[in-house]
Amino acid sequence: MIHRYLEILERANHGTKIEKAEWDQEKVMMTVLTLVEKYNLAWDRQEIIPTDDAMLDRLFAAALQLVETIGVLAAPENRVIRFTRDELLDGLRRVPQTLVMGSGKDARTLYARKVQDARAPLVWAGNPGCPTPEEIFLPSVISWMQEPIVDLATCGSLTHIDGYPIITGAPIEIAALRRELSYLREGLRRVGRPDMGLLGAESSVTEIGDLAVAHPDYLRPHDAHLVAMFNELIIDQSNMARVMNSMEIGFRNASLATVMVGGLAGGPPGAALVQAASFIAANWVCWADYHLLHPIHIRHVATSTREVLWVQSAVSQAFARNAPCIIVGDIYPKSGAVTHELLYEVAANAAALTVSGAHLEGVGSADGALPHGTGLEARWMGEVGHAVTRQGLDRAGVNHIILRLLERYEPIFKQKGGNPGKPFTEAYHLQTIQPSAEWLDIYQTVKNEVCDMGLPV
């Protein structure tokens, strides 16, 4: 295994050198435009959940051709890592179909889901990457760890420790990551789920923190960490170092490519093409055990726009049909806690991912930019996902519900300042770590509305 990755590192060090601007414009933009036209990839604003299976298969074929044609750019030297088609197909076969996270009574098995799978998705709760003050870090993670529907946990990133700011690439990243993992492990102990699987090491941008928590007291072999690709189809030495470290320790590698809808790849068809290609490439450059599906809207950021919902659905379905693997869909709504719109957005996102063949992760409320996330919307995310499978809803049925939900929350994308809602300290009682009466009332109101739409939660 290590020998094969050393070969990838060799290509990153000695591949053809190219300027970043040429990569973006000539390799990515022009090739994507050509392939979108060649494979006749298109979307319909009213069909959030695509049902054209032939188009989904063409999307996958186009993604395979994209990686074979241009490869991956290795930063900062800007050398191209190339792959043969046989290697790419071998990478698709290498990725696990099942993956055990956690241990003992808290163990959960992630699996490659199918389109309209009758099995419920796993619920991975947290506000990944959200900048979080130290004083609310522990109570916030407890708020979702304590929810019975939650299978796995993640967290935001610490902004300070002991009053000192976290500086990227500085020694303080070591202390920040160890503090983060200590809080996560303490939270699991307090809720009686000490061996639950985690996606951790969120407080460090560089590989420094990742290396600092490679110890069973912190990040354990049955936990996961991020190995990121950058926009678009770029990997850097820092993330490749994370891979090498995990090979010795045994962490689960979660590939993460946040393709920008409306960016270099263009609209939803091109963005879906690059997102799918990123997964294919990540099987090698990130040595992925599973994939985090997190495209973002170039202007609105949120994953709950109809464009991004379509991309998430199309990519999940394309892999479920052609190369089954574990896909976990990130949910990053525009709205924050104690708003009706947050729950509408979560319902739409969770339903779309569930019926399309993905598991659920979130909630990165308020675009994941503010500490306005709580355990209640994570509970709601899981309840919606479970209800979709329990009711046996098909793609058309979910699409109908999502269109009705969009009517309720889409106006916030034009709202100046977004819809940030309230911070954790106003949404939950810090002593009991339970939601406020106001937040519970909103939750019950939205639950009743969604039931009336045809999804009994």
236 and 335 share one domain: yes
36 and 116 share one domain: no
- The kind and range of the H/E element at 232 are none
Residue type, 82: R
Listed in sequence order, the residues at least 6 apart from 242 whose beta carbon sits closer than 8 Å to its beta carbon are 207, 210, 225, 226, 227, 253
> Residue 194 and residue 105: Cα distance in Å, rounded?
9
What string of pLDDT tens digits covers the 457 residues of the chain?
777 999 999 999 999 999 999 999 999 999 999 999 999 999 999 999 999 999 999 999 999 999 999 999 999 999 999 999 999 999 999 999 999 999 999 999 999 999 999 999 999 999 998 999 999 999 999 999 999 999 999 999 999 999 999 998 899 999 999 999 999 999 999 999 999 999 999 988 889 988 999 988 999 999 999 999 999 999 999 999 999 999 888 889 999 999 999 999 999 999 999 999 999 999 999 999 999 999 999 999 999 999 999 999 999 999 999 999 999 999 999 999 999 999 999 999 999 999 999 999 999 999 999 999 999 999 999 999 999 999 999 999 999 999 999 999 999 999 998 999 999 999 999 999 999 999 999 999 999 999 999 999 8
Alpha-carbon 50 to chain mean position: 20
9 and 150 share one domain: no
203 and 84 share one domain: no
Q: Looking at residue 129, what is its pLDDT?
A: 84
Copy the structure tokens of residue 306. Answer: 């109809």
> Residue 457 and residue 452: Cα distance in Å, rounded?
10
207 and 71 share one domain: no
Domain extent at residue 223: 98-269+288-452
Q: In this structure, is residue 292 part of a structural domain?
A: yes
Q: Looking at residue 302, what is its pLDDT?
A: 96
Q: Are 99 and 290 in contact (CB under 8 A)?
A: yes
339 and 365 share one domain: yes
Q: In this structure, is residue 278 part of a structural domain?
A: no
Exposed (0-12), middle (13-18) or buried (19+): which is 10, by Cβ within 10 Å? exposed
Last residue within a domain, chosen from 68, 94, 120 = 94
Total structural domains in the chain? 2
Q: In this structure, is residue 281 part of a structural domain?
A: no
Cβ neighbour number for residue 387 with a 10 Å cutoff: 20
The residues pairing with 134 across neighbouring beta strands, listed in sequence order, are: none
Q: Looking at residue 224, what is its pLDDT?
A: 96
75 and 110 share one domain: no
124 and 71 share one domain: no
Last residue within a domain, chosen from 94, 116, 136 = 94
How, if at all, do strands 252-257 and 224-229 pair? parallel
> Residue 99 and residue 109: Cα distance in Å, rounded?
5
Last residue within a domain, chosen from 61, 94, 127 = 94
Q: Looking at residue 261, what is its pLDDT?
A: 97
Q: In this structure, is residue 279 part of a structural domain?
A: no
445 and 384 share one domain: yes
Q: In this structure, is residue 29 part of a structural domain?
A: yes
Tell me which residue has tokens 């009336």.
Answer: 452
Residue type, 328: V
Which pTM does this prediction carry? Answer: 0.97
Let me know how many helices (H) and strands (E) the chain has, helices first: 16, 20
63 and 108 share one domain: no
Give the DSSP per-residue string, 157-218. EESEETTEEP-TTSTHHHHHHHHHHHHHHHHHHHTT-TT--BB---S-SSHHHHHHT-STTS
Nearest to 122 by CA among 395, 455, 386, 398: 386
340 and 263 share one domain: yes
Q: In this structure, is residue 88 part of a structural domain?
A: yes
Residue type, 28: V
Q: Looking at residue 239, what is its pLDDT?
A: 95
109 and 227 share one domain: yes
- Give the CATH number of the domain where residue 339 resides: 3.20.20.460
